[in-house]
Amino acid sequence: MAKITFITKDDNTIVCEADSGSVMELAVQNGVKGIDGDCGGVCSCATCHVHVAPDSVERVGEAGEIEKDMLELDDEANERSRLCCQLEVSDELDGIVLHVAH
């Protein structure tokens, strides 16, 4: 089981646990403010934009081309940006911290 911490724009910390699914689904199921997942996880809306904590960047890996294209349209994007619909819950993500971009 992976434990993932979300920090919202208003500095609320929400710790969620899951065995599978996307990180975006986990956030939506747990009411994380700022993660909407409007497109349902098909990487076409960027309403699940997060900034990965510096010490967790290597564990989530690099964004794919489609994801990078979506992030280029977001003014809040930086080198640690990811769309959490593109992150699958796994033991590798246990303990990561994600800062909600919006």
What's the number of domains the chain is made of? 1
Strand order from edge to edge, sheet including 2-7: 13-18, 2-7, 97-100, 49-52, 81-83
Cβ contacts of 62 within 8 Å, gap of 6 or more: none
Sign of the C-alpha dihedral, residues 77, 79, 84, 86? positive
- Boundaries of domain holding 53: 2-100
Q: Residue 69: which CATH number?
A: 3.10.20.30
Tell me the pairing of strands 2-7 and 97-100. Answer: parallel
Beta-ladder partners of 17: 3
Could you list the pLDDT tens digit for every one of the 102 residues in the chain?
A: 999 999 999 999 999 999 999 999 999 999 999 999 999 999 999 999 999 999 999 999 999 999 999 999 999 999 999 999 999 999 999 999 999 999
